[in-house]
Structure 1
Amino acid sequence: MAEAHPEELRENARRRVPRTKVAVPAVGPDFVRRPRLLAVLDQARDAPAIVVCAPAGSGKTLLLAGWARPETTAWVSLDGDDNDDRRFWSAILDALSGCPSVPHDSPLRDQPVPRRPSRDPGFLAAVFGALDDLPDVVRLVLDDLQELTEPEPLQGLEALVRYRPAGLRLVLASRETSSLSLARLRSAGQTTEIRAGELKFSPTEARALLAVSGVDPRPTQLRRLVEQTGGWAAGLKLAAMSLTDADKVFLGGSDREVGNYLLAEVLSELPDQQRDLLCTISVCEKVSAGLARALSGRADAATMLDTLEHETSLVARSGADGAWYRMQPLVRSYLLADLGKQAPARAAELHAKAARWFAERGRPVPALAHAVRTGDAERVSGPLRRQAVSLILSGEHEVLHEALAVVGDQVVAQDSMLALVSALLCLEEGEPEFALLHWAHADAAWPPHPGAELQLLRRLVAARQAEITGDVGDMVRATSGRLRGQGHRLDALDRLYRATALLTASDPAAAWDELRVALDAARDREQTYVATQILGILAGLAGTAGDFRQMAELAGQADRATIEHGWERTVAGATASALLAYDALLRAEPAECLRHARRAGRLTDGGQGLTLLVGTVAGAARFELGDWTAGLRQIEQARLAGGTRVSADLVALSAVVQHRAASRLGWSRVAQQALNESRLRIPDCGEILLMRARTQLSLGRGESAEKLLRPLVDGTVPAILPWTAVEASLLEAETAKLAGNEGRAVRALTRALSAAKAGGLRYPLVFGSREVVGLLATHRGQLGELNTFAAEILAARRGFAGPEIPDPLTERERSVLRLLPTLRSFDEIAQDLTVSPNTVKTHVRSIYAKLRVQRRRDAVTVAMDGGLLETPHPDLHD
């Protein structure tokens, strides 16, 4: 071969390329691996082309850099200068030359680059031939492919794709679908594509991304952040920057850092027409082609949306039929904020257009929501009056609040229907005092000839008020009579409140039947909020009847609806969470119980019954987790806050749980108080016998305890709570064990296990006394078909690593213990208690043994830390 002339060599020399341009980007220690996407890339290693296409900030570069193997990867970070065809190919050849898999004698390392390489068949043939001859496959990553806009480098890249050299695999990363044609490879199934949807961070990935910045959000915060950012990597990082400042709240697209990023990296690269269309449709959470045409006035709006979807991924189709488009949440948030700031009149006009469009198509909720955004009270008041009742039944409380705020307090106060709707809203959100104010306004503005619906609405508000306050008489009076006419839109709500009145009148069977009819009516009319309320009450009824599995299922359905629609802070949401907390306690999962109880506790005031249930189960859970004193105090406080207008089953639950905890801790006065109050409120029931028997056993009177338990165990005296029978059998087993009657103890234990297994109850067994657990352990494997369940109980018991409750102290021991911190001598303590010094020493030895200590100071410390020195609650009086 003839040697090239020096001038020709100079003419064909490669352009100088910065080293960083052809180096695989380094991933720092804060890099978040994404196994699900790395698995997709690994599976596509042999595909001729991998395409990663998503908007700026989606994490394309880091994903590929974290996946790339330096020994087999050539990387080019493209920029605008690469539209110079010679520089483009110089960069590719330099990247290949720097790849360890390319042999030192490969022609690629010194291949000259002619003036117009993509149009030079000889050059392309030489490069492709050298790539064919590579001993190992090299992956060439071309990052930021959208920077290539000139025909020559695109033509060369097309040739590379079309020829598919045996030693090369292409990996193309771009913000938009380039003009590069991959149709042939796609049709042959030879491309793997990762789009914006796949690159969205899942909640788990988002948590990991935030964690590297020291941000550890709660589950609800995490869910909100992922929704707000659309799982967009850059948005999550910007959120993390904001949230590392404890006093700062991430505001989405209105945050300055976010806005600057979006303007510089995303929106500035769009054509004016596309940017204007995005700005126009930003007033809607989602748009159809028809709505986009109505808002923009552009006949080609559908085509533009399609282009934006395929070329930028800034909008994506949604819905089962793909007829709607959603914009990337942060982009929409920024554009909407900017529109309201720069052109508020245009924003109001666009919302008015959207309101008309939805109203014409029978979509009242979005129509009213957009009318609200105009800020025009006259535009809002008409649809509000027409739709307020339907919106409260379906649970569109946020839209209602906003609409009522726009029309103003004065207008609401002068309109009976709006005032009653406002009162019902307040009751559902735990604000009964404000409900009374709206009720007074409704009465003051009451028309001389009210329509049937207005009268019914007034009756239903009265019924809801009575239900929350626990006034049985008012509840029954408010729901008396039948609804005039069939198929009325308030029929389901009317039946719901009538069922509640039946419950207060102790007719659960009739209430259940009424609620099932009400649920069907609510679902038929798509009154989702009413249906959710009904599910919660049905769940409570199932629990009262002892069907705790059905209780959990129905409460779970209600809970999922409240989370989906954002109703966690309503009575319906709190009821579902409270019942799930109760279920978790009965399954012996106290941590899960506390999680649900905290959610239920967000409601300001859900009524006395709800307050009592939440406080009781939460206190019991805290007690079982080892926070004995605080747990018992919480149960006491719940009983006080619950008042006197609560159902018998809630009174029994609170009393039994409080008495059980107080007896185990040795707080005899608190235990006796629970028993005394129960005698007044729920006399002649099995729970009274259970508490009396437990008291006798704690005093060492086993025979008395056994006699008290007998009518409860044999069913002569009925119990209120479905699981009282389990507690009674366990107490009988403990009594028999202490009396040395092992046979009777095992029979009682077997009876308790059988009932607990049938009802899905683990709480009384897992947190049973040491005698009960000892019986289980001793007779493990000898209980027939109950062996598996017994093993589960023992495993659950071992799973709790909290401290064991010390043996309860006697009253005399407690008296001695109270005087130990005073530093009196034993003789002086004996004089104070009018006993002999030897008696005091005997009590002290017993105290040391029960507390597992050997010194006076340690006894005082253990007693104080464990809450064993009973002190009166500030709200309790002797």
Structure 2
Amino acid sequence: MSSAPVTGRRGVPRTKLTVPEPPSQLISRPRLLTVLERASDSMVTLVSAPAGAGKTLLLAEWARAHDASRIVWVSLDTDDNEDHRFWSALLDALSGAWPVAEECPLWHLTVPADPSMDPTFLADVANALDDLPAPALLVLDDVHELTDPRPLRGLESLLQRQPARLRLILSTRHDTHLPLARVRLADELSEIRAEDLRFSPDEAQDMLAVTGIRLRSEQFRLLLEQTEGWAAGLRLASLSLSGTIDHAVHDRAVADYLIDEVLLRLSSDLRAFLSAISVCEQTSAELAAHLSGRADAGALLDAIAEQTSLVFRVESTHWYHVHALLRAHVLSELVRQYPGRATQLHGAAAAWFATHDLPALAVDHAAAAGDTAQATTLMHRHALSLALSGEHELVRRVLDMLGGQTVAADSLLSLVSALLHLEQHEPRPADRDLAHAEAAWPPQPPPELVSLRQLVRSRQALDTGDIADFVKVTGGLDSAPGHHLDAPTMFLRGTALLVTGRREAGREQLRAGLATARDAGHDYLATQCLTMLAGLAGMEGDLTAMVTMATAADRENTRHGWHPPVAASAMLAYGALLHAEPAECLRQAHRTVSRGQDSDPIGTSGLHVVVETLRGAAEFELGERIAGARRIHEARTSGNLLRLWPEEVALCAVLEHRTALLLGWSAAAGEALRWADAGIPGTAEIHLMRARTQLSQGRREAAAKTIQPVLTGAISPVMPWSVIDAWLLSCEVALGAGDDPSAQRTLRHALTLAQHLDVLYPVVFAAPDVINLLTTQLGRLGRVERFADRVFTLRRALDVAPVTPLTPREHAVLRLLPTLRSLEEIAEDLTVSANTVKTHVRAIYAKLGVTQRRDAVAVAFEHGLLENGRPQSR
């Protein structure tokens, strides 16, 4: 505008009214920009988070991406507590907004001496805003700087008048004293809180990437955990990452920021109180009073929470959380200046947690206090329960603190140590601990100690894979009521029943163990029971139950930060493959960690072989056909095949046989069939693989005869979904014979069964002629129509490329195509007519999707049908 505002207002620096320039390495956060965009329709948007959370950067990015002419920005500071200056800034800012014409009263209003107490002035401002042709978006950054009641009173009056054309965006380090309850009740308040502003793992990775920082996954996890996604903490730590992660989060830059922006803004009284409670990650008012000796601890916690937002109440609880970086800094200063005081506070915290039935925290603080007597007493009372709850790192740390001699001289602690080593598949240390327990065995052991020794021996037998010994030892298990052994006993008994084929009895024991573990709060043991039940559901073909329980177990493992849930991930990979989601199958398979066959417990003994087979199958279906098929083959030939369940044998053999036949690796296919026949003879899977071999050789009648007992139910499958494959193969046979009615009927059988089992894999990756038939039947499939739609949706998403197997004679012709021989010379080599060779060549071209010899050779090499000029056979 050409005019200048009227006099009577204080001069306002232009920088106060200018949207800050985002830094060149700004990490854009689209998820929050979307929230802001939606929130701008609300009368008030509150962005409340601690210093360094990224409030100003977020609002600046949003403002600069928005229609800049409608954005009104005021950066507040302590000078704005002078009421006249505050209103001068607001009116100058509003006067520059696009909806404000030169004749608008906002442009000409004179600021009175005491504006926030002048009802006429406030009414004039509200009326002027009401008359704007379009809403103005007023951003007030750093509202926490307003501490004088007068400007706050003026803002409150403006809110009470609710100007229809004003959208107010408030940025503050803590909630203001403005009366927002009425706005919230009218559903006109949008809020972005500290938890919303925390950097997600992806956003944190982006921040590190722009600074050129590359961390290992464990380093990154630790950095994110210690900074809790706090933007300033991540930025400052990233500047120091030339050293260790621990050094980075305790760097001088981080400390200076905390001192300048947080601690110095607190009174000395609050800083002393914060120091006293810094030994605890979370505290209640009662615990804080116990540690600090302050009867007003609750009020002090609320004051710190309000002034920093780095101490905040945990939602729906009476506990307060102290941000990890703030706590680490304050505690390190306490230890540096008053080491005896820190030890005393840890001891006091241990005693308080012990009397309030919080054993993990009690043990942790006793160890931090270095009080071996208190730690030993607590470990005798709680070590086993803590181990069953998954507090393995804590228990191991405290055992190490007590020292090897103390543990070795104590049978209970030695047995708990052995149990932890067995959970980590460390047999030698476990053997040593068991020997120590025997050497220190008391003359008259209590019943619970005897039961614990038996349980550890049973767990040892499970880990070594000696099924006979495991079943024998487990048969002697007898839990001692009230000593936490009921649930682990049920788990081991259930596992023993499963390995001896008594599935229903095993299921009952595992379900009882799961319920008991949950009631006792033994989360780790509960996930073990849940994982075994998921595996049992998978064996019985209940894919939905398997995936549901495996997902729940995986979620618990992840939430607690326990070791990678190998069995749960393997089942999720299996479920993803059967749902025809090879990319998800591959992702889950990658999460597993091979621990070596000798350390696999009985319940998961085939995991390495199965996971590698699933990885190979997923790679194959994603187009990496050679790599995938080789991985499947190598999984079987390199694994400990004596320790596979029948279901695992069936899965690995069926997948290897299928991929080998599709690639023309007849030798590998035959090898897989012979291996499976030794492990699961007479099953539907054996008939399926034999029929597939016969069909690949053009022996349709033999294939139909071989598969018939599977279709009639005369022969049972190991994997229920194998019958889907059997019906699809029968459909192929019928199509090859030109029997369309029979092909349509068998296809419907396959679809009906696949829909019932919720298994899509065999149908989605069915033979091309079966898919062609399914295409012609769309719209006439009745109850399975929706399932067929799912099949085609997945095929489109995967861009499935057909793999049509070549016959042995076609392979013989293909092998000679890279040579310089003519078709007539090839016919002579094969002792067949030239016309026969030409027929085979046309079939090869059709199956490979090419039209000339050179392309056929190229595609054959690409798909592994030729290698070094010869068809691949393994």
> TM-score interval w.r.t. the shorter chain?
0.7 to 0.9
**What is the 5 A alignment of 1:352-391?**
352-391=347-386
Match of 2:593 in 1: 601
Choose from 512, 536, 539 the match for 2:531: 536
**C-alpha distance after superposition, 1:25-44 (max 9, x if no partner):** 35577543425642564343
Match of 1:3 in 2: none
**C-alpha distance after superposition, 1:27-70 (max 9, x if no partner):** 5775434256425643433x6xx654432123333454435865
Q: What is the CA-CA distance between 1:359 and the residue it aligns to?
A: 0.9
Classify the secondary structure of the residue corresponding to 1:326: strand
**What is the 5 A alignment of 1:102-141?**
102-105=100-103, 109=107, 117-118=113-114, 125=120, 129=124, 132-133=127-128, 135-136=131-132, 140-141=138-139
For the aligned residue pairs, the C-alpha RMSD in angstroms reads: 4.2
Classify the secondary structure of the residue corresponding to 1:601: coil
Deviates more, 1:381-390 or 1:232-241: 232-241
Is the aligned partner of 1:728 residue 2:723? Answer: no
Match of 2:647 in 1: 649
Whole-Å separation in 2 of the counterparts to 1:536 and 1:190: 45
For the structure 1 residues 260 and 777, does the alpha-carbon distance in structure 2 shift closer, same or farther, using more than 3 Å as the test?
Answer: same
Structure 1 segments unaligned to the other structure (5+ residues):
1-9
Match of 1:694 in 2: 692
For the structure 1 residues 863 and 832, does the alpha-carbon distance in structure 2 shift closer, same or farther, using more than 3 Å as the test?
Answer: same
Deviates more, 1:29-38 or 1:700-709: 29-38
Whole-Å separation in 2 of the counterparts to 1:191 and 1:777: 53
Match of 1:862 in 2: 859
Q: Are the counterparts in 2 of residues 776 and 794 from structure 1 also a CA contact under 8 Å?
A: no
Q: What is the CA-CA distance between 1:468 and the residue it aligns to?
A: 3.8
Match of 1:258 in 2: 254
Match of 1:147 in 2: 145
Match of 1:549 in 2: 544
| Residue type of the alignment partner of 1:563 | T
Is the aligned partner of 1:393 residue 2:393? Answer: no
Is the aligned partner of 1:587 residue 2:582? Answer: no
Choose from 55, 62, 77 the match for 1:60: 55
Match of 2:3 in 1: none
Whole-Å separation in 1 of the counterparts to 2:407 and 2:825: 71
**What is the 5 A alignment of 1:767-778?**
767-778=765-776
For the structure 1 residues 489 and 166, does the alpha-carbon distance in structure 2 shift closer, same or farther, using more than 3 Å as the test?
Answer: closer
Whole-Å separation in 2 of the counterparts to 1:209 and 1:774: 46
Is the aligned partner of 1:563 residue 2:562? Answer: no
Whole-Å separation in 2 of the counterparts to 1:699 and 1:269: 83
| Residue type of the alignment partner of 2:783 | E
**C-alpha distance after superposition, 1:704-760 (max 9, x if no partner):** 212211222222222222122222222122122212222222222222222221111
Deviates more, 1:603-612 or 1:234-243: 234-243
**C-alpha distance after superposition, 1:661-701 (max 9, x if no partner):** 21122111111111111222222222222211111111111
State the aligned residue count.
Answer: 850
Is the aligned partner of 1:284 residue 2:280? Answer: yes
| Residue type of the alignment partner of 1:609 | G
Is the aligned partner of 1:491 residue 2:486? Answer: yes
| Residue type of the alignment partner of 2:260 | A
Classify the secondary structure of the residue corresponding to 1:391: helix
Q: What is the CA-CA distance between 1:368 and the residue it aligns to?
A: 0.9
Whole-Å separation in 1 of the counterparts to 2:148 and 2:780: 83
Whole-Å separation in 2 of the counterparts to 1:844 and 1:167: 77
| Residue type of the alignment partner of 2:586 | L
For the structure 1 residues 840 and 387, does the alpha-carbon distance in structure 2 shift closer, same or farther, using more than 3 Å as the test?
Answer: farther
For the structure 1 residues 426 and 664, does the alpha-carbon distance in structure 2 shift closer, same or farther, using more than 3 Å as the test?
Answer: farther
Whole-Å separation in 2 of the counterparts to 1:817 and 1:450: 76
**What is the 5 A alignment of 1:48-447?**
52-65=47-60, 66=62, 70-83=68-81, 87-105=85-103, 109=107, 117-118=113-114, 125=120, 129=124, 132-133=127-128, 135-136=131-132, 140-149=138-147, 172-177=170-175, 182=179, 192=189, 194=191, 196-197=193-194, 199-201=196-198, 203=200, 206=203, 210=207, 213=210, 228-235=226-233, 237-238=235-236, 253-318=249-314, 320=316, 322-339=317-334, 344-432=339-427, 434-443=429-438, 445-446=440-441
Whole-Å separation in 2 of the counterparts to 1:98 and 1:507: 81
Whole-Å separation in 2 of the counterparts to 1:40 and 1:830: 72
Match of 1:4 in 2: none
Identity of aligned residues (%): 43
Whole-Å separation in 2 of the counterparts to 1:338 and 1:868: 69
Is the aligned partner of 1:504 residue 2:502? Answer: no
Classify the secondary structure of the residue corresponding to 1:523: helix
Whole-Å separation in 1 of the counterparts to 2:752 and 2:362: 57
Deviates more, 1:290-299 or 1:80-89: 80-89
Q: What is the CA-CA distance between 1:555 and the residue it aligns to?
A: 2.0
Classify the secondary structure of the residue corresponding to 2:262: helix
Match of 1:662 in 2: 660
| Residue type of the alignment partner of 2:766 | G
Whole-Å separation in 2 of the counterparts to 1:145 and 1:757: 59
| Residue type of the alignment partner of 1:691 | M
Deviates more, 1:755-764 or 1:468-477: 468-477
Classify the secondary structure of the residue corresponding to 1:644: helix
| Residue type of the alignment partner of 1:38 | L
Whole-Å separation in 1 of the counterparts to 2:222 and 2:674: 48
Classify the secondary structure of the residue corresponding to 1:453: helix
For the structure 1 residues 81 and 797, does the alpha-carbon distance in structure 2 shift closer, same or farther, using more than 3 Å as the test?
Answer: closer
For the structure 1 residues 252 and 743, does the alpha-carbon distance in structure 2 shift closer, same or farther, using more than 3 Å as the test?
Answer: farther
Match of 1:782 in 2: 780
For the structure 1 residues 252 and 96, does the alpha-carbon distance in structure 2 shift closer, same or farther, using more than 3 Å as the test?
Answer: same
Deviates more, 1:856-865 or 1:211-220: 211-220
For the structure 1 residues 224 and 484, does the alpha-carbon distance in structure 2 shift closer, same or farther, using more than 3 Å as the test?
Answer: closer
For the structure 1 residues 37 and 242, does the alpha-carbon distance in structure 2 shift closer, same or farther, using more than 3 Å as the test?
Answer: farther
Whole-Å separation in 1 of the counterparts to 2:663 and 2:724: 21
**TM-score, length of structure 1 as denominator length:** 0.85
Whole-Å separation in 2 of the counterparts to 1:486 and 1:287: 33
Match of 1:621 in 2: 618
Whole-Å separation in 2 of the counterparts to 1:373 and 1:57: 31
| Residue type of the alignment partner of 1:557 | A
Deviates more, 1:694-703 or 1:31-40: 31-40
Deviates more, 1:436-445 or 1:640-649: 436-445
Q: Are the counterparts in 2 of residues 229 and 330 from structure 1 also a CA contact under 8 Å?
A: yes
**TM-score, length of structure 2 as denominator length:** 0.85
Q: What is the CA-CA distance between 1:565 and the residue it aligns to?
A: 1.9
Whole-Å separation in 1 of the counterparts to 2:571 and 2:288: 45
Whole-Å separation in 2 of the counterparts to 1:143 and 1:365: 43
Q: Are the counterparts in 2 of residues 830 and 840 from structure 1 also a CA contact under 8 Å?
A: no
Q: What is the CA-CA distance between 1:381 and the residue it aligns to?
A: 3.0
Classify the secondary structure of the residue corresponding to 1:804: coil
Q: Are the counterparts in 2 of residues 519 and 531 from structure 1 also a CA contact under 8 Å?
A: yes
For the structure 1 residues 127 and 578, does the alpha-carbon distance in structure 2 shift closer, same or farther, using more than 3 Å as the test?
Answer: closer
| Residue type of the alignment partner of 1:454 | L
Deviates more, 1:346-355 or 1:667-676: 346-355
Whole-Å separation in 2 of the counterparts to 1:767 and 1:735: 17
Choose from 800, 806, 810 the match for 2:798: 800
Match of 2:14 in 1: 19
For the structure 1 residues 319 and 358, does the alpha-carbon distance in structure 2 shift closer, same or farther, using more than 3 Å as the test?
Answer: farther
Classify the secondary structure of the residue corresponding to 2:283: strand
Q: Are the counterparts in 2 of residues 413 and 419 from structure 1 also a CA contact under 8 Å?
A: yes
Whole-Å separation in 1 of the counterparts to 2:811 and 2:404: 60
Structure 2 segments unaligned to the other structure (5+ residues):
1-5
Q: What is the CA-CA distance between 1:574 and the residue it aligns to?
A: 2.0
| Residue type of the alignment partner of 1:391 | L
Match of 2:675 in 1: 677
Whole-Å separation in 1 of the counterparts to 2:187 and 2:643: 71
